[in-house]
Amino acid sequence: LKSMLKRPDLVCEAAFVSGEWVSAENRANFEVTNPARGDVIAVVPDLSRAEVGKAISAAEKTQKPWAALAAKKRSKVMRKWFDLLMENQEDLAIIMTAEQGKPLAEARGEVAYGASFIEWFGEEAKRVYGETIPGHMADKRITVIKQPIGVAAGITPWNFPNAMIARKVAPALAAGCAFVVRPASQTPLSALAMAKLAEEAGVPKGLFSVVTSNAAEEIGKEFCENHIVRKLTFTGSTQVGRILLRQAADQVMKCSMELGGNAPFIVFDDADLDAAVEGAIACKFRNNGQTCVCANRIYVQKGVYDAFAAKFTAAVEALRVGDGLTDGTTLGPLIEAKAIDKVQTHLDDALAKGATVLTGGKPHDLGGLFFEPTIISNATKDMAVSTDETFGPFAPLFMFEDEDDVIFQANDTIFGLASYFYAKDLSRVTKVAEALEYGIVGVNTGIISTEVAPFGGVKQSGLGREGSSHGIEDYLEMKYICVGV
Ligand code: ADP
């Protein structure tokens, strides 16, 4: 891996704690593998709970002086960090593809997307405005100020090894918080490379720590039980989100949760079918289906069902499966064997209940963690895929006739993250957009992520928003000051 990089030192095999590059005290390590080839590309420290505690203590020390800086000074450090991330975009992308598997073009896109949060929130640091409220009595003056929560801790998944951290650390630092993150054990290298560049940008020692550890549960407990931590931010499954919320309750800790989804993607009779196919490809197969906003249920109205299915099948057959580092690859491997099992389980279940395969339908000839991009027809709501996110390259087509019925079906889930639909009729667009019980609705587009908009879910898909001016609120406390005059 190092030989492919302009800056081999961006592959860090040490954890970044309190501004120092450290090994675990007991020298324990764990391996990082390349999912496309199965080979070990690095080893990183397996820190203990006590060592994570040290990162939290260091964060506490630096947080207050950082918060006391003029916002413009914090902003300048973040701008420098953004510039360094973009200068090293290619190396960061190669590191990401090597540990995560996504095609290099997608990795480049993610590095830029992640960096955009550092840039955007660096600017937003200057706009943490308060309020003045006309007093309730002639001799009272009321103001509201916003202050950083303090030390924030984050737990992130492997599907976006850079962006899921950037979306949290950016508003945290902008608000004046310190941030300690435990990246997923499958993908710590992107996090460590970000930390290396943060250090170069002049982020104060201890303000941002990356604690690599295989002991997810133990570290989760430390984050929830250490009284210094005032905020927990998590991206991952709803199942783990529930555990963390329960644990965080003992300290009445503020929590932001970006959890699972079960995104509907609806194609109405009046849709532009070519655009719908393009959107479905982008939204279903990005990162090989391993995103929480990937379409999981594709509903197609009866009148355009066959035409859409034919065009969609042709587009999926044009995808190229392979090693993400090879030119022209559009679909990489899945992250691990259990991800393959889940795709196979959803497929088997659907076939047993009457679905038919339009394309794909089995592990790819490349072997290992590769699976053929698959479409099935005649999906129905008794199938596992209708209630459970596949997180893989498996696209089920459901036929529907009636607008109200499809809205009901789309909302008939415990999740509420992203949803999509394609239609042209203005009143339909308005009605359906308002009726979908989701935090995000993509209308005539399959790509919705940007740093300028609030990303987040309703129902059991989460709490809080990342991105936009709303995103910084999750890292701020409001203080009401009443002055008697
Ligand atoms: P995924 O399917 O993406 O791995 P998870 O919700 O299992 O989703 O994992 C998301 C992140 O949460 C990962 O970094 C994982 O190591 C971590 N994690 C899993 N279980 C726990 C737990 N009980 N406490 C804290 N972190 C956890």
Rounded distance, CA 452 to CA 471, Å?
A: 9
Q: Which of 213, 208, 224 is nearest to 184 (CA)?
A: 213
Phi-psi region of 35 (alpha: psi -120 to 50; beta: other; left: phi over 0): alpha
pLDDT of residue 335: 98
Sheet containing 440-443, strands listed edge to edge, beginning at the edge strand earlier in sequence:
356-359, 374-377, 394-400, 295-301, 263-267, 418-422, 440-443
- CA nearest neighbour of 400 among 469, 476, 298, 484: 298
- Identify the CA nearest to 462 among candidates 171, 265, 249, 239: 239
- Active-site residue set: 258
178-182: strand order across its sheet: 20-22, 15-17, 208-210, 178-182, 151-155, 229-235, 254-258, 462-463
How many whole angstroms from its chain centre is CA 406?
27
Query: Does the C-beta of 220 come closer than 6 Å to ligand 1?
Result: yes
Predicted local confidence at residue 447, as pLDDT:
95
Residue-level pLDDT at 104: 98
Q: Do residues 51 and 98 make contact, with C-beta atoms less than 8 angstroms apart?
A: no
CB atoms within 10 A of CB 479: 11
Residue 240 CB–ligand 1 contact under 6 Å: yes
Tell me the pTM: 0.98
- Name which of 232, 227, 66, 73 is nearest 148 in CA terms: 66
In angstroms, the CA 298 to CA 282 distance is: 13
Ligand 1 in reach of 237 Cβ (< 6 A):
yes
157 CB less than 6 Å from ligand 1? yes
The preferred substitution site among 240, 287, 291, 292 for testing ligand 1, maximizing ligand atoms within 8 Å of CB, is 240
CA distance linking residue 151 with residue 278, whole number of Å: 42
Atom 23, ligand 1: residue with shortest CA distance: 217
Report mean pLDDT in 10-residue bins for the chain, 485 residues: 97 98 97 98 98 98 98 98 98 98 98 98 98 97 98 98 98 98 98 98 98 98 98 98 98 97 98 98 97 97 98 98 97 98 98 98 98 98 97 98 98 98 98 98 97 98 98 98 98
Query: Could you give the ipTM of this predicted complex?
Result: 0.98
